Amino acid sequence: MLRRSLLALGLILALPALAQERTITVASTTSTEQSGLFGHILPIFTRETGITVRVVALGTGQALDVGRRGDADVLFVHDRAAEQRFVAEGHGGPRHHVMYNDFVIVGPAADPAHIAGTTDTVAALRRIAETGAPFISRGDRSGTHAAELRMWQQAGIDPVTGRGQWYREIGQGMGPALNTAAAQNAYVLTDRGTWLNFRNRQELKIVVEGDARLFNQYGVMLVNPQRHPHVKVADGQRFIDWIVSPAGQAAIAGYKINGEQLFFPNAAQPEPTS
CATH domain 21-100+217-265 topology: D-Maltodextrin-Binding Protein; domain 2 (3.40.190)
Closest CA to 35 of 253, 260, 192: 192
Provide the pLDDT for residue 11: 41
3-state DSSP call for residue 119?
A: coil
Query: Strand 74-77 and strand 215-222: pairing?
Result: antiparallel
- pLDDT (mean) for 96-114: 96
Per-domain residue ranges for the chain? 21-100+217-265, 102-214
3 state DSSP class of 268: coil
Domain 102-214, CATH among 3.40.47.10, 3.40.630.10, 3.30.70.2190, 3.40.190.10 = 3.40.190.10
pLDDT greater than 50 at residue 203: yes
Per-residue pLDDT for 7 more than 60?
A: no
Strands 264-265 and 96-108 turn out to be: antiparallel
pLDDT for residue 271 = 52
Are 53 and 240 contacting, i.e. CB atoms less than 8 angstroms apart?
A: no
Same fold, 21-100+217-265 and 102-214: yes
The pLDDT assigned to 15 comes to 41
pLDDT digits (tens, 9 = 90+) for 49-85: 999 999 999 988 899 999 999 999 999 999 998 999 9
| Closest by CA position to 44, among listed 252, 217, 225 | 252
